[in-house]
Amino acid sequence: MGNPPVAVITGTTHGIGTVTSHGLARAGYTVVMLCRNVQAATVLAQDIGARAPGSRIEVVHCDLASLSSVRAAAREVRERHPRIDRLINNAGIVSTWHRFSVDGHELTFATNYLGPFLLTRLLLPALAPGTRIINVSSKVHYRGRVDLDSVDNPRASYNSIAAYARSKLANVLDTFALARRLAGTGITANCLHPGVVATNLLPGWLNFIRPLFRRFILTPEQGARTTLYLALNSQAATLHGEYLDEHQQVRPAARIAHDLLLQEQLLTRSARWTGLNQASA
């Protein structure tokens, strides 16, 4: 028998990422968890191993808000695994106030978009026909506006929801642009809305009114369904350059997400921000 397939996933220590990691392990994947909190990830790896005997779970330190950390993580993953079968960009944050990454970019945008952008490009050489790239976005991308000049401007006005929406629109724009570039390679790229999920992304004040709309909030198990569908379902292998909802249905993304000029402007600026070049790719 050959080696088990390899799945690389970010943001596994909470919510959807935890459930997704369990599902991948049960499906027979070697799960490589890229996490900022190595201690928490190690505890999770032990739990997954106990629940899925025989599974192989690895932990690699990766702070998506730090481009140097992303580069180090990508290098370690490629040294361990010449071939990657699933790449799931799952991690996400919402910064409640205007903060910046160590590289000088607005923190929510840096964590939710720039880090995954760089990670994906650095891991592309390890991807082969049949590999699936899955980006966890959000329905909030419909409200997003990508003002590229404000990403590293400390004087720009800041709203946490607007910042989150911008980062998630960037995820969709990037998915569609990447899908065009991967056409004909056998590697697929898709993005999704997991639903409104009861995770640590929800602001604390929401706990006071949570009972009013409890029926609209999904559990992490429900929120992980579309990610696991894209990763594991045989029918999902034919999907490419699509946006799916929490019910595993293909839906139209925001019109602006299909703007080819904006896609290219974002990619050009992202390559400059991350220092991406042919040598590093």
- The residue from 29, 142, 158, 164 that is catalytic is 164
Active site residue 229: no
Residues of the chain with pLDDT under 70: 1, 198-216, 277-281
Give the pLDDT score at 155.
Answer: 95
The one-letter amino acid code at 247 reads H
The CB density around residue 198, as the number of other CB atoms within 10 Å, is 18
Query: Residue 200's pLDDT is what?
Result: 52
State the burial class of residue 154 (Cβ atoms within 10 Å of its Cβ: 0-12, 13-18, 19+): exposed
Convert the pLDDT of each residue in 5-48 to its tens digit: 999 999 999 999 999 999 999 999 999 999 999 999 999 999 99
pTM of the model: 0.92
Instruction: Decide: 174 and 273 in contact? Cβ < 8 Å.
Output: no
- Model pLDDT, residue 169: 98
What pLDDT, on the 0 to 100 scale, is given for residue 217?
81
